[in-house]
Structure formats: structure tokens, C-alpha cells
Structure 1
Amino acid sequence: MNIAFFLVPKEEVIYLSPNHTIRQALERMEYHRFSAVPLIDEDGRYAGTITEGDLLWKLKRSPEIGFENAHKVRLSDVPQHWCIKPVRIDQQVQDLITLAVNQNYVPVIDDNEVFIGIIRRREIIEYCFKLWQSEQKLSEQKA
């Protein structure tokens, strides 16, 4: 099976640029109720994932910023505490599952490392559950 089966295309993904500000990130995360979003640079390449924790740690460790100045700090100046690794679109499903065990989503890149979307752990679990259910029904029919 190709991992593209699970792909949520870039057009449907909420993402930010490293040039966005802390305030913009917080507002977008709050609006969409996400705790993490991918960062995509000006060349369309995956540049990491920014999390609520990253933003909070930056604000905590930089009291001079405060929320009132969060619009002045770029996400490129916020350290990322989690390394959310991408998978290439041509990689095996096993590679995807290995990453999805520890990540809520897996960014997907093409041969040129350009971001093309994400694969959410939820869809992988739902797919596996449906396979399991099908196997259970076959077992019941044979019995």
C-alpha cells in the first residue's frame, strides 16, 4: 500500500511560516483547536513543527516579551522542543507507522523535500481498526 492513501493534502492543512509571529501562531492554534502546526518555509519546504509548548516555553523564558509583544517575535526565533520527522511520499507504510507511533501527525514531503501534506495518526488507526473488523467478520463466518 502506498502512504499517499492516507495523505491530507497541503491545501487542507493548517500551517504557518517561520516568518509568522507568536501571536499569529497562538491565534491560529486557538481558532482551529490545534496544539501543533507544521512550519513551511518560503520555498515550500517543511521547516519543523511549532507546538503550544514551544510558544509557552519561549514566553516563560523571555519575560520581556509578554503576550502584549508576542506580535513582534517570529516563529523562527522560537526553539522547537520536539523533532517531528517527515516521511517521503515514496517511503514504505512501515516507515510511516514507525513515526506515527510517537507523532500525532507525520509531515509528508516529495523528492525535493517540498511539503505536500500530512498523515494523521487517527486515519492510520481507523484504517487498521477497519481491517481488524473485516478479519473478525471473516473469522465469524468461517466458524
Structure 2
Amino acid sequence: MNIAFFLLPKLEVVCITIQYTLRQTLEKMEHHRYTAIPVLDDTGKYIGTITEGDLLWFFKNQEGMSLENAHRRSISEVPMRLDNRAVRIDANMDDLIRLAKVQNFVPVVDDSDNFIGIVRRSDIIDYCASKIFVLEHSSEVG
């Protein structure tokens, strides 16, 4: 199965660039009700995934950090705790399933490492469930 079938294209993905401020990032995550979003550099390459936890720990560990001054701090200052790996568009389902075990979504890049979208864990689970249903149904018939 080609993973492009599951791809949510970049135009439909909520993401930020490394130039975003902490405030902008928090507002975007709150507005869309996401707990993690992809971070891209200014050329469109995938850098990593920022999570609510990353932001929380940054706020906790920075002296004088508050929502009032969050517009003065760049998201580039925030360490990303998780190494959410991306796959190339020609990856196989085994690669997706392996990463989906530990990531809410799997970022997808092209041959030049440009971010082209994500595959959501829920879509991978639906695919696996449909395969299990087909196997169970075929064993009942046969």
C-alpha cells in the first residue's frame, strides 16, 4: 500500500515555522485544539514537532516567563523533547506503523526533505483494523 493514499497534504496541516513566537504557537494550538504540531524551517523543511509539554516545561524553567511576555520569545528557543521522525513519501506501511506506535502523526517529506504533509495515527489504525476485519471474515467463510 502506498502511503500517499493516507497523506493529509501540507495545505491542510496546521503547522508553524521556526519564526513563530511562543504566544503565536500557543494560540494556534489552542484554536485548533492540538497537543502537537509540526515545525518547519523557513524553506519548508521539517524540523520537528512541538508539543504542549515542550511549551509547559519551557515556561516552568525560564525565569520570569509568563503569557504576558510570551510574544517576545521565539519557538526556536524551546527544546523539543521528542524526536518525532518523518518518513519519505516512498516509505512502506511497516515504517508508518512503527512510528505511529509512539507518535500521534507521522510527518512525510519528499526526496529533498521538504515537508509535504502528515499521516494521522487514526488513519493508520483504521487501515490496520480493516485488514484484521478482512482476515477474520475470510477465515469465517473459508
| TM-score, normalised via structure 1 length | 0.95
Question: For the aligned residues, what is the CA RMSD?
Answer: 1.0
Q: Which residue of 1 aligns with 2:108?
A: 108
Shift of 1:135: 2.2
Aligned length: 142
The 2-side partners of 1:20 and 1:131 are apart by 41
Q: Which residue of 2 aligns with 1:8?
A: 8
The 2-side partners of 1:65 and 1:116 are apart by 34
Shift of 1:51: 0.6
Shift of 1:78: 0.6
1:54 counterpart SS class: helix
Deviations 1:60-84 (A, max 9, x none): 1113121110011111111111110
- Which structure 1 residue ranges, 5 or more long, are not aligned? none
The 2-side partners of 1:80 and 1:42 are apart by 18
Shift of 1:132: 1.4
Identity fraction in percent = 50
Q: Which residue of 2 aligns with 1:134?
A: 134
Q: Which residue of 2 aligns with 1:53?
A: 53
The 1-side partners of 2:55 and 2:9 are apart by 26
2:47 counterpart SS class: strand
1:38 counterpart SS class: strand
Q: Which residue of 1 aligns with 2:22?
A: 22
My pick for the range that moved more, 129-138 or 59-68, is 129-138
Deviations 1:75-113 (A, max 9, x none): 111111111010011122211211111111110000000
2:16 counterpart SS class: coil
Q: Which residue of 2 aligns with 1:86?
A: 86
Q: Which residue of 2 aligns with 1:99?
A: 99
The 1-side partners of 2:8 and 2:45 are apart by 16
2:50 counterpart SS class: strand
The 2-side partners of 1:77 and 1:109 are apart by 24
The 1-side partners of 2:39 and 2:127 are apart by 27
Q: Which residue of 1 aligns with 2:43?
A: 43
1:116 counterpart SS class: strand
Shift of 1:123: 0.3
- 1:111 maps to a residue whose letter is D
The 2-side partners of 1:63 and 1:53 are apart by 17
